[in-house]
Structure 1
Amino acid sequence: MAIVTGAARGVGRGIVLRLAQEGARVVAADLSPCDETIDEVRKLVPECYVCAASVNVIEGESVDALVASTVREHDRLDLIVNNAAVVQTMMMLADTPDKEFDRIFSVNFRGVFNGSRAAARVMREQKNGCIINIGSWYAKQGFANFAVYCATKAAVMRMTEALALEMAPFGVRANTVCPGNTETEMLKKAMREEATLRNITYEKQVQHVKDSIPLGRLGRPEDIAAAIVYLASPEGEYITGEALNVNGGVIFS
C-alpha cells in the first residue's frame, strides 16, 4: 500500500500513475482535489486500486490521520512518497520576507518531516517499509534567488540520511530523490520569473535551461516516477540513505 502526497498534479500525478501501472494500491493525497489524477489513472489502468485523500502536510495531525486511515483500511503501509512542495518566488535572501520564508519552510521541510514521522512510526512496528522524500538538485548546491528553497531541500536530504540510519535496524529504508528541471507548472512559473529578471523571452529562457542539461531536454514526471519504482522495488532493497539525482547529467562541484 502506497501514499503519495502532492498528487493532484505534476510529478505527484506521474508517480501515482506509474505506481498503479506497477500494480500498487495507491492513495493520492493533496490539499487540492485529486479528481483529475484519479480519472487519468483509472482511464489508463482500469484494473488499479487508487483513491483520493485530502491532507494538509504542514499540519502533523492531518498527516497522522491520513496514515492512520490508510493502515486501518489496508492493514499496512509499504511506501510513502513525500512529494508535496512549493517553489519560492525568486528574490534575494536580503529581500525575503518572513511570510515567504514560512510558506516555503512549512511545506517543503515540515511537510516532509510530518510524512516521514507518521510513516516511520507505522513501519517501525511492521519491521518493513520504504520512505521516499522528494528533494531537488537545488539541495546539492546553492542557487541565487532561491536561498530558502535550496535550504529546505538540503534539510530534507540531511534529515532523510539520519532517518535511514535510525530505521535500518527495523528493516525500513529511507531515500531522497533529487529531480532536476522537470516539466511541471512549478518549473514553468520559475522560468517565467527568471526570464523577466534576465529581460529575455520565456522561449529563450526555456532553451537556456535545456542547454544547461547534458542530455539536452527537461525532465518528465515519468523520469522521477521510474526512480521511485526502482528504489521501492526489491531491486533497490540494499539502498538506503541515498540522495539520487534524476537531472539529465548535471554534475555538481
Structure 2
Amino acid sequence: MSSSLIEQAKQKAAYQAVDEHVLPSHRVIGVGSGSTVVHVINRLLQRDPELNAKTVFVPTSFQSRGILLDGGLKVGDVEQYPNVDVTIDGADEVDSQLNAIKGGGGAHLQEKVVAEAANKFVIVADYRKDSKLLGEQWTKGVPIEVVPFAWRAVQKKLQDMGSKDAELRMAVAKAGPVVTDNGNFLIDAPFGLIREPAQLLKDLKLITGVVEVGLFCNMAEIAYFGCEDGSVRIRTK
C-alpha cells in the first residue's frame, strides 16, 4: 500500500474519531503524538472557531504542542487541567483487548499521563497497527523510558527477564542516544508475543530506574483503524 493511501487511512480514522468523541460541551481535550495525530489536529481546526476558543488542548509532546500553537489553539497542561474530557492518540500496535504499545516516538510518559487524566481515551491508527496480540506487528520492542544513569542496570534486568535484545535507542541524526522531552533515555525491549501485557507492565514498572513503560493496558475504550479500502474499522471492549 502506498504511503499516500496509508495517510488517507489515518485521516479517515482520525476524522471519524474526532467527529464522534469531541463534543461541543468538551472544554479540555487531550491531543496525542505521532503521524496520525496530525490528522486529529487538522480535524479539530475545522471545528467551529467559537468552540475552539472555549477549549483548552493538552498536548503530549513537543511535536503536538507546536502543531496546536501553529493552529492558533489554546494550549494547557495537566498541572493546570487535571480533568480532561477526552484524549485522542495514536498507537504503534493495538491488540484484540484494546491494550496498546506506544512510545515509538518516545513520548509515552506524557501520553500516558494525559490518557489517564481523561474521562475517555480513544485510539486512532491505520490497519497495520491492528493485531490479536501485542508483538505481532510491532517487533521493535516495548519502549521503556529510563533515567540516564540507570540505563545499563535496567538493560541487564530486562535481559534477565527474557528480553535478550533489549537495547538503548540511538539517535539517527546525531551521535548518542535518543533523549526524551523529559531528559531521559529509551530502551526498546522485545518480548515476542505478549500474551499478558498487564502483568508485563507491572513487572517492568517495578524495575528501579524505569520511569514509564509503553504498555497501555485497560485504558482505551475504543479504537479506530483506517483500512486499505477506505473504510474505518472500530473496536470496542
Report the TM-score range of the alignment, normalised by the length of the smaller protein: 0.3 to 0.5
Q: Greater relative contact order (Cα 8 A, min sep 6): structure 1 or 2? A: 2
Greater share of strand: 2
TM-score, structure 2 length as denominator?
A: 0.37
